[in-house]
Chains A and B, each alone.
Chain A
Amino acid sequence: MIFLDRPGYNAIIKLLPDFEKRTGIKIKYQIVPYENTREKEELDFSSNGELTVALVDLVWIGEFAEAGWIVPFEEIKKKYPDIIDPNFDINDFIPLILNAFGTWQGKVYGPPFDNYSGLLYYNKDMLKEAGFDKPPETWDELINTYAPKLTKNSKYAFALQSRRGETQSCDSFMRFLWPWGGSLLDAKFHSNLGNPKSQEGLNFRQSLEKYMPPGIVDYDHSDAVNALAQGNVAMITEWSAFYSTLVDPKSSKIVDKLGVAPEPKGPDGRKPALGGFSLAVASQANDKQKAAAWLFIQWATGKEIGKQYVEAGGISGRQSTYKDPALLAKYPFIQPMLDSWQQGVPEYRPRFSEWSKLTDIIAEWGTKMMLNQVSVKQGSDEIGTRTEAVLKDAGYYDGKKPLAQ
């Protein structure tokens, strides 16, 4: 199977020997950068390669499921009834993330494994100096009250990772649609960017830009996290997984000044960025491998190792894991993350297979917007027409494909 070089995977690698000793199953894994993961898995699946466990990013689930590359949970249950752990309890997973990461068109494919929510990280000292003793509750507050006071002497109030790529489309562009009540697509899958609410969100992003460091369109995750860690910006909205980077004295100067809160609310509520990976059994595996793959998945997302997994740096998707008050006290990011998961939207990014085309369109025109090469209106129109062309080709408008995202 494929792992990424992220805390959740390092955590499971740490725990692996125990699993291998107990079951005698040997897990062979390869660590791949995120940007190449999908390409690698697709090449493997389409050529009947050797992957037995699929690592499924929430935006790939539609594609993988439709291509028939992953096996639904129901089928596994039917085929191997005696290896399903009676304690597995699929309903123990937080409903939003099970629905978003592991479910496509009502069918569960696999349990969520590496789970993220967008969070607001802030520098307590910088906020205090500017006269604030708590983080902003709404985006409106952030831009009108907090940002002007926090931007001075080459320090900036906010950094928004916006580099061209998934970073732009997911972390920057989409983040400013949902909380304003906007969205990429309407119910009939036509572009909804022309909607005044979507426009309001995108315009908000433009006006927030003056409180961000120059060159923000080239900021990737690591740049934004660094900017906060080095004390150059006061607030960022980043994935929960970066908590461990920000509290590591080797990479952060603000270990004891770090504050974590849920993302600010927009006019339409919180609706924070949502992302994560589920694990599913690959259809190309033989029967024996399939059973072994399921045993691994069941163990890796199971109740027993939930706490160990969190302590090793992972983020469990199980409600039962977080019943332990000691754990919540030790990791202050967990509570805001659980709060975020109460209100997120599963289709924060559409999860159909056409997303891989849409993300490139949004990445291109979204950065052009931020550079003021095109106006927000022009950019939205361009994204809109191109998106509709892609979706028309795919057959969403003539009923060939169900409107599922």
Chain B
Amino acid sequence: MRKSGRALRTRSEARLSGKGKLMPIRAVPRKTYSNGVIFFLAPAVIVLLAVGIFPLLFAVWNSMHEFILSRARIYALHGQPFLWFQNYLGLVNDAGFRESLFRTFVFLLINLPIQLVLGLLIALLLHKVGHEWLKNICRVSLVIPLATTLAVVGLMGRLMFNSSFGVVNYAVATVISLFHSIGPLLQGHFQVLHGFWRHVVPSNMIDWLGNPNLAFATVSIMDCWQWTPFCALVLLSSLTLVPPEIEEAAKLETDRWWQVLWRVQLPFMLPGITAILILRTADILKMFDVVYTMTQGGPGNATDLISVYVQRVGFRQVDQGVASAQAIVLLIITIILSRIYIRYFYREI
């Protein structure tokens, strides 16, 4: 019961107030539905059960059994040994699992902020008034990376960043030769610049996918290329939610754009940002195609993200039990992170 004594007006408010006892709410007469509604709902529910719930429960079942495919004929029918939580406990001692989980979080912490900030910049630019047709072209072209199949993105990356005939190294070489041709104009500065450049890149052939750190960066670049537009589009649509009169009033008050952004536009973007955080976190935790086609987790284990690891356990070592346990752990992590995001970022206006 709130101290003000204000009556709770709606059911949802009653639920939200949480700790106190609920005031008895006069029951709203329940709307009755005809039986027909079941038939309309059934297909969706059945499909969801078949492709979502059942596999999930099956994975949970798997994760508690020893289930190695190559021993399938050795087990009696449905006689896989039951192990309780042994598969899960095994994960604690699995250094490879921990390392790739850690690597995945590093990947997340580097890429998500970059994609958010770049996406925000693009959204703000597209939100400005003027240049309508240019903006339309931009908006359409933003969809292209999103429409590209993940495996194709990986293969493209593999070709573009190929050290001996990739287009990226070609561009680098072109820039360098350009520098050489304008070098004399820069006089002394050129030597310094050139020296610095040679220190960073010893030869024109940058070994993008063969060097562990660069390979990690390259996979990140491809991920940013594909998903920054997604952030931009979501944030752009959030920006259009800001009532124009409020935005105009704010712009009359101050000519500092970041004040407008921080105090007026950002609150409207929070739901969008939360959605991006949840979706991108889940995506990166299950990011497989790009890494698999680009590096297979190599060189060494520089790009061995968690999904690639789980796939290897599940389908190369054919240990479905352990792989299912790993997948369930990932699911739990995703759920926890989503709850945290909603708790700390999500605000409704």
Chain A residues in the interface with B (C-beta under 8 A): 38-39, 42-43, 45-46, 63, 66-69, 154, 163-165, 168, 213-218, 223, 227, 230, 232, 353, 356-357, 360, 363-364, 367-368, 370-371, 373
- Contacting residue for B210 out of A46, A154, A214, A356, CB 8 A: A214
Closest chain-B Cβ to A273's Cβ sits at a distance in Å of 20
Contact pattern, B 291-312, Cβ under 8 Å of A = 1, otherwise 0: 0000111111100100000001
A63 to B210, CA, bound (A): 33
B152-211 contacts to A (CB < 8 Å): 162-165, 203, 205, 207-211
B100-148 contacts to A (CB < 8 Å): none
Q: A216-B210, A360-B316 are known contacts. Are A68 and B73 too (CB-CB below 8 A)?
A: yes
Neighbouring B residues of A217 by C-beta, 8 Å: 210, 298-300
Contact A218 B295 (CB under 8 A): yes
B215 on the A face (CB < 8 A): yes
Q: A227-B164, A356-B317 are known contacts. Are A371 and B212 too (CB-CB below 8 A)?
A: yes
Closest to B316 in A: A356
A67 to B248, CA, bound (A): 73
B210-229 contacts to A (CB < 8 Å): 210-212, 215
B70 on the A face (CB < 8 A): yes
Contact A367 B316 (CB under 8 A): no
Given contacts A67-B71, A215-B163, A353-B70, 12 further A-B contacts (CB under 8 A): A39-B316, A164-B295, A164-B296, A164-B297, A164-B300, A214-B203, A216-B210, A218-B298, A227-B164, A367-B300, A368-B301, A373-B212
Neighbouring B residues of A45 by C-beta, 8 Å: 72
Closest chain-A Cβ to B151's Cβ sits at a distance in Å of 11
Contact pattern, B 74-114, Cβ under 8 Å of A = 1, otherwise 0: 10000000000000000000000000000000000000000
Closest to B207 in A: A215
B316-334 contacts to A (CB < 8 Å): 316-318
Closest chain-A Cβ to B288's Cβ sits at a distance in Å of 13
Contact A218 B73 (CB under 8 A): no
A274 to B180, CA, bound (A): 49
Chain B residues in the interface with A (C-beta under 8 A): 69-74, 162-165, 203, 205, 207-212, 215, 295-301, 304, 312, 315-318
Neighbouring B residues of A367 by C-beta, 8 Å: 298-300
Contact A218 B215 (CB under 8 A): yes
User: Which of A68, A367, A370 counts the most chain B CB atoms within 10 A?
Assistant: A367
Contact A63 B70 (CB under 8 A): yes
Closest to A363 in B: B298
Contact A218 B72 (CB under 8 A): no
Neighbouring B residues of A213 by C-beta, 8 Å: 163-164
- Contacting residue for A215 out of B71, B74, B209, B316, CB 8 A: B209
Interchain residue pairs with CB less than 8 A apart (12): A39-B315, A67-B71, A67-B72, A154-B205, A164-B298, A164-B299, A165-B296, A353-B70, A360-B317, A364-B300, A368-B301, A370-B299
Neighbouring B residues of A42 by C-beta, 8 Å: 69-70, 318
Neighbouring A residues of B207 by C-beta, 8 Å: 214-215, 218
Closest chain-B Cβ to A369's Cβ sits at a distance in Å of 9
Neighbouring B residues of A68 by C-beta, 8 Å: 73
- Contacting residue for B69 out of A46, A154, A216, A370, CB 8 A: A46
Closest to A168 in B: B298
Neighbouring B residues of A218 by C-beta, 8 Å: 163, 207, 209-210, 215, 295, 298-299
Contact A67 B296 (CB under 8 A): no
Closest to A164 in B: B298
Contact B300 A373 (CB under 8 A): yes
A215 to B158, CA, bound (A): 13
Neighbouring B residues of A165 by C-beta, 8 Å: 296, 298
A154 to B315, CA, bound (A): 40
- Contacting residue for A69 out of B73, B203, B298, B301, CB 8 A: B73
Q: Is the interface of A mostly helix, strand, loop or mixed?
A: helix
Neighbouring B residues of A370 by C-beta, 8 Å: 299
A153 to B217, CA, bound (A): 28
User: Which of A68, A215, A353, A356 counts the most chain B CB atoms within 10 A?
Assistant: A215
Closest to B309 in A: A360
Closest to A154 in B: B205
Neighbouring A residues of B312 by C-beta, 8 Å: 360
Closest chain-B Cβ to A387's Cβ sits at a distance in Å of 14
Neighbouring A residues of B318 by C-beta, 8 Å: 39, 42, 356
A214 to B71, CA, bound (A): 42
Contact A43 B70 (CB under 8 A): no
A232 to B164, CA, bound (A): 9
Q: A213-B164, A215-B211 are known contacts. Are A67 and B70 too (CB-CB below 8 A)?
A: yes
Neighbouring B residues of A66 by C-beta, 8 Å: 70
Contact A371 B164 (CB under 8 A): no
A223 to B165, CA, bound (A): 11
Closest chain-A Cβ to B56's Cβ sits at a distance in Å of 19
User: Which of B71, B164, B301 counts the most chain A CB atoms within 10 A?
Assistant: B164
Neighbouring B residues of A371 by C-beta, 8 Å: 212, 299-300
Neighbouring A residues of B295 by C-beta, 8 Å: 164, 218
User: Which of B70, B215, B312 counts the most chain A CB atoms within 10 A?
Assistant: B70
Neighbouring B residues of A356 by C-beta, 8 Å: 316-318
Closest 6 CB pairs between A and B? Answer: A215-B210, A164-B298, A46-B72, A215-B207, A368-B300, A217-B299
A360 to B309, CA, bound (A): 10
Neighbouring B residues of A154 by C-beta, 8 Å: 205
- Contacting residue for B301 out of A215, A216, A223, A364, CB 8 A: A364
Neighbouring A residues of B215 by C-beta, 8 Å: 218
Closest chain-B Cβ to A186's Cβ sits at a distance in Å of 24
A348 to B241, CA, bound (A): 66
Neighbouring B residues of A363 by C-beta, 8 Å: 298
Closest to B75 in A: A46
Neighbouring A residues of B164 by C-beta, 8 Å: 213, 215, 227, 232
A339 to B301, CA, bound (A): 38
Closest to B319 in A: A357
Closest to A60 in B: B70
A223 to B159, CA, bound (A): 11
A368 to B304, CA, bound (A): 13
User: Which of A163, A164, A360 counts the most chain B CB atoms within 10 A?
Assistant: A164
Neighbouring A residues of B297 by C-beta, 8 Å: 164
Closest to A40 in B: B315
